[in-house]
Amino acid sequence: MKNYIKYILLFCCAGTPSQAQLDNALSQKILEIRNSNKVPALAALSIKNGEVVELAAVGVRKSDEPTLVTQNDKFHLGSDTKAMTATLTAMFIDEGKLNWTTTLAEIFHDLKEMNSDYKSVTVEMLLAHRSGITGDLSKFENGKLLKKLRDPKLDPTTGRILLVREMLTQPPAFKSGSRFEYSNQGYAVVGAILEKISNKSWEDLMQERLFSPLNMNSCGFGPLGDSNGKIVDQPWAHIQTQNGPVPVILDNPETLGPAATVHCSLQDWSKFVALHLNAYNGKPKLLSSVSFLKLHTIYPGQQYTYGGWIRTERSWAGGVVFTHDGSNTLNYATAWWAPNRNLIMLSTSNIGAPSGQTATQEAINLLVEAQRIK
């Protein structure tokens, strides 16, 4: 009980916002959402017609420490990394180094032990989660592969080679192409494909081909925070416990980077989302309009596109809208973009579901309502 009371005091006191965090009406409302969901930090951004119309960041970087978040802080994007990997893949396709229908047998022709059911799996199946690769790595080989991938001595590229070798030589979780099963591992295999073609790491490819051209200078990979640093310089991830959020420096295995390890500021993230919104509206950059069209197209029979987005419709969006949530279970991020309204809305928190998910969704709802009023 003493520790619980100590936590409540820390949360309330450390979470007291500065005036700079409450310089507009949005910040006040975002603070209310943050407090009601008891999340350490919450940030939100909306961009209309290429201009920032709403931006707020409230709360603390670390639940047991008083340093406040800022509007320029970096947040972990989790599975919102997937759209970036899909975009990178389309660049290789534009250059003729790969096709949407290139098969695993063609790419990994030297893997003689590949299970026959995987040989016809295509790049587009991997991107749309139809490959047959399990979505639950903890159940694969009773968790033995996951343990191997968490080895701190294992570099991510070698880890992806290991994942390809061990997963593709076993039977798929279901008949390839027959149904949807969300799979981080499928996107890790896509990363391995790009590495094999380019002889560069997925991390280097992302920096060179996506982040640098878009001036996404805050982007990086893996967990935020420095356990040895005297200053809490970025938002830490948090485990959700009965006694409240507990700060940690943890993340997915580096091997799964192509699925879920990018972090960056909201402003830099919006540059990537704007790349897609502008392309949808006839202003493609970095990719051909044909490739963007493919990335924004759903796999037949589902809402998930080849480009790592969920495509649906909303009345407030004037029709089509694209969205995706991301989480490594310790952070939460959500993106929405409505091309008919030329509108981008993003929200992040440094804690996972359920509180981080609820808080970011409520923040998005707030941004939607603000647009309706305007």
User: What CATH number does the domain containing 103 carry?
Assistant: 1.20.58
List pLDDT tens digits, range 174-193.
Answer: 998 899 999 999 999 999 99
Instruction: Give pLDDT, residue 120.
Output: 97
Q: Is the pLDDT of residue 18 over 50?
A: no
Query: Are 217 and 136 part of one and the same domain?
Result: no
Query: Are 56 and 176 part of one and the same domain?
Result: no
Does residue 87 belong to any structural domain of this protein?
no
Residues 298-311, mean pLDDT to the nearest whole number: 97
Label residue 3 by pLDDT band (50, 70, 90).
Answer: very low
In angstroms, what CA-CA distances link 351 with 148, 177, 208, 348?
A: 26, 34, 30, 9
pLDDT-above-70 percentage for the chain? 93
Contact criterion met (CB below 8 Å) for 14 and 21:
no
Query: Are 151 and 231 part of one and the same domain?
Result: no
Q: Is the pLDDT of residue 271 over 80?
A: yes
3-state SS assignment for residue 150: coil
Instruction: Give pLDDT, residue 174.
Output: 92
Cis omega before residue 354 (within 30°)? Answer: yes
Q: Which domain holds residue 115?
A: 97-203
List pLDDT tens digits, range 72-124.
Answer: 999 999 999 999 999 999 999 999 999 999 999 999 999 999 999 999 999 99
Query: Are 230 and 351 part of one and the same domain?
Result: yes
The structure tokens listed for 114 are: 């590949």
Instruction: Give pLDDT, residue 23.
Output: 57
CA gap 307, 295 in Å, rounded: 4
Contact criterion met (CB below 8 Å) for 236 and 74:
no
Instruction: Give pLDDT, residue 229.
Output: 84
Q: Is the pLDDT of residue 242 over 80?
A: yes
Does residue 88 belong to any structural domain of this protein?
no
Q: Is the pLDDT of residue 58 over 70?
A: yes
What domain count does the chain have?
A: 2
pLDDT, the chain, mean: 92
Q: Cα torsion for 357, 359, 361, 365, to the nearest 10°?
A: 170
Query: Are 243 and 280 part of one and the same domain?
Result: yes
Amino acid at 28: Q
Question: Of 203, 237, 256, which residue sits at a domain end?
Answer: 203
Instruction: Give pLDDT, residue 374.
Output: 54
123-132, 201-210, 247-256, 365-374: segment of lowest average pLDDT? 365-374
Query: Are 262 and 369 part of one and the same domain?
Result: yes
Q: Is the pLDDT of residue 17 over 50?
A: no
List pLDDT tens digits, range 141-169.
Answer: 767 888 899 998 999 999 999 999 999 99
Instruction: Give pLDDT, residue 373.
Output: 53
